[in-house]
Structure 1
């Protein structure tokens, strides 16, 4: 089976003072490219839309229906090139909602679909130590802005520490906020490397399973 890989992140999302708005997309692209390098799959680009839970206002996101339509357009394009399977490497937490729709899209579009959101599940708080450390490896973290980055009044999105309603509704958000409040954030490239290695390994395993 000919398998392709696409990246899915977000492009206009606040990530504090030290990370750019397209952090999630850049991380997803790196994982997707490295996964393609380690397997027989081909990297086929990055989707431009992204979804977020309505309570979390961190930037510019689209309805899940728009993300699905863009995915379908991409599937039509890659099927014409002979691809029979597609792995979606996701770097943005809100996009995990797409998993709930993949079976329907798979049946409609007649293509094998898998999604890997490993990095979202292991990197920890939004714009926290994990993302900062990954960003340092990728060259997108501004280390001079770390102190500013931790100011919850200016950057409430870091760990969602300043998002009281989100913290009240989601236990995981409260846990992440407490981690940032109590421990702060830092850059540790060994953490970043371990996170990326785990995500790439999992995505590569899924890719090989699809191709077998």
Structure 2
């Protein structure tokens, strides 16, 4: 089976003072390209659409239908080039909801799909130490603004610490907010490298599994 790699992130999401709006998309793209190099799977690009959960207002996002439509278009285009399966490398937490749509898209495109959101599950609070550390490894974190970044009154999206409705709706968001409030944020390059290593390895394994099943 000829397998493709597609990166999923967010391009318009606030990430505090020290990280850019397209942090998730940049991380996803980096990981997807690394997986491509290690497995020989073809990198098919980064989607522009991204979904976010209700009550999380951190920027501009799209509906699940819009995300599905863009993915289907990308997959059908890749299919013309001989791609018959794809792994989606996701670095945006809200996109994890999209995994429940994969079976439907598999039927529509007649392609086999896998999704890997390991980085989302490992990095901890939104725009917190984990994401700052990954960003530092990739050169997208503005290290001169770390102290400012931790001011949740100015940047409520950091750990969702200043987003009261989000914290009330999601238990995990309250836990992340408390972590930010109690521990603050910092840069740990060793942590950042470890998060990337584990996440890339997980996505690469999904590529190998997809190839071996067919």
Given the two structures, how large is their TM-score scaled by the length of structure 1? Answer: 0.99
Matches within 5 A, 1:32-181: 32-181=32-181
Alpha-carbon distance in 2 for matches of 1:36, 1:109: 22
Describe the superposition over 1:138-196 as per-residue Cα deviations: whole angstroms up to 9, x where unpaired.
00000010111011111000000001111111111011001100000000000000000
Task: Kindly indicate whether residue 20 of structure 2 is the aligned counterpart of residue 20 of structure 1.
Answer: yes
Name the Cα RMSD after superposition.
Answer: 0.6
Runs of 4+ off more than 3 Å: none
Alpha-carbon distance in 2 for matches of 1:199, 1:47: 19
Alpha-carbon distance in 2 for matches of 1:175, 1:200: 26
Work out the number of aligned pairs and report it.
212
SS in 2 for 1:28: helix
SS in 1 for 2:49: coil
* Aligned residue number for residue 29 of structure 2: 29
Gaps in structure 1 of 5+ consecutive residues = none
Gaps in structure 2 of 5+ consecutive residues = none
Alpha-carbon distance in 1 for matches of 2:49, 2:107: 22
Describe the superposition over 1:112-138 as per-residue Cα deviations: whole angstroms up to 9, x where unpaired.
011000000100000000000000000
Alpha-carbon distance in 1 for matches of 2:172, 2:92: 15
Q: How far did 1:54 drift?
A: 2.0
